[in-house]
Amino acid sequence: MLLQGQRILITGGSRGIGRGAAIECAKHGADIAINASAPSDSVDSLVKEIETLGRKAVVSIGDVADPDSATAFIEAAVKGLGGVDHMVANAGICPFHSFLDMPVEVVKRTVDVNLMGTYYMCQAAANQMVRQGTGGSLIAISSISALVGGEMQSHYTPTKAGQHSLMQSVAIALGKYGIRANSILPGTIATDINKEDLADPAKREYMEGRIPLGRLGKPEDIGKVVVFLASDLAGYMTGAHVLVDGGAFVHLQ
Ligand SMILES: NC(=O)C1=CN([C@@H]2O[C@H](COP(=O)(O)OP(=O)(O)OC[C@H]3O[C@@H](n4cnc5c(N)ncnc54)[C@H](OP(=O)(O)O)[C@@H]3O)[C@@H](O)[C@H]2O)C=CC1
Ligand SMILES: C[C@H](O)[C@@H]1OC(=O)[C@H](O)[C@@H]1O
């Protein structure tokens, strides 16, 4: 048990990587607060799964692009769990689109959800941690896309680089409070975000062929690294990024 009694907040926890992180953290003894954009059966089943593991679960519904959702999420966690020890800024979107005809509203929405959502959530969580005076950590789910481009992702990859940069700056700002800030850079993880893109067998085969470990990632592959970064095992890590991609990044030829 690496996270016994820790209170971990996860945005976009209903599905995919956020859900995987919630379950891995609960398995390690953490109580979990989940932000989701809307109520759903998926959120309800996650709450049951966390409670079956013997941990508390709190849900806060809100759009991460709205700064008020961050305040509401912290209030819900303080009320339901008694405080905040870690924030996992995970909620994100990637509406694949070509560059030359990218609609302005798609760019703005992607930046608002992925980057601004991370900013508001981490700022609100850090203020609560400072009030508590007990330290803590921030973990941004950035991406391998912080380091490389994507033809249909000109609006998305800058948000992932931005999250990574944000963690570097807040690591400096928050070190004096004992608050660490790190980012995880997942490679290709099979979730709803890329279901349609990877439905093309040729694309899927190409992506799998680029991964030395021979398979796409699973949400729990990232959840386990969230556990590590939140735990005391990573107590001297801040401003760092951890690439979790099965080796895809280094596989040039
Ligand atoms: N899958 C991959 O290959 C990779 C993913 N990532 C990053 O991981 C993160 C999670 O993605 P993944 O699990 O794959 O995708 P999913 O589409 O499976 O899940 C996305 C999650 O984000 C939530 N979400 C989206 N928009 C909002 C919003 N405005 N407010 C609150 N919640 C929101 C969704 O909630 P709801 O169900 O309520 O809509 C959902 O829980 C993203 O930041 C993504 O960029 C990074 C690298 C690779
Ligand atoms: C959604 C994509 O499949 C996925 O998102 C990322 O951040 C990865 O780099 C992949 O492109």
Q: What is the mean pLDDT of the chain?
A: 98
pLDDT at position 45 is 98
Of all protein residues, whose CA lies closest to atom 5 belonging to ligand 2? 188
The helix/strand/coil state of 225 is helix
User: Which residues does residue 242 pair with via DSSP β-bridges, in sequence order?
Assistant: 184
pLDDT tens digits for 162-219? 999 999 999 999 999 999 999 999 999 999 999 999 999 999 999 999 999 999 999 9
Kindly give the number of the ligand 1 atom that is closest to the alpha carbon of 113: 29
Per the CB < 8 A criterion, the answer to whether 8 and 85 are in contact is: yes
Distance (angstroms) between ligand 2 centre and the Cα of 227 equals 22
Kindly give the number of the ligand 2 atom that is closest to the alpha carbon of 143: 7
The helix/strand/coil state of 33 is strand
Distance (angstroms) between ligand 2 centre and the Cα of 125 equals 26
Nearest ligand by distance to the CA of 17: 1
194 lines ligand 2 (CB under 6 A): yes
Given the cut 0.85, state whether the ipTM is greater than it.
yes
> What is the rounded CA–CA span in Å between residue 29 and residue 32?
10
Q: Supply the residues annotated as catalytic.
A: 143, 156, 160
pTM: 0.98
Name the residue of 144, 196, 197 to mutate for ligand 2: max ligand atoms within 8 A of Cβ.
144
Three-state helix/strand/coil letters over 89-114: ECCCCCCCCCCCCCCHHHHHHHHHHH
Of all protein residues, whose CA lies closest to atom 10 belonging to ligand 2? 188
Residues lower than pLDDT 50 in the chain: none
Distance (angstroms) between ligand 1 centre and the Cα of 18 equals 7
- Where are the domains positioned within the chain? 7-252
CATH class (in words) of the domain with range 7-252: alpha beta
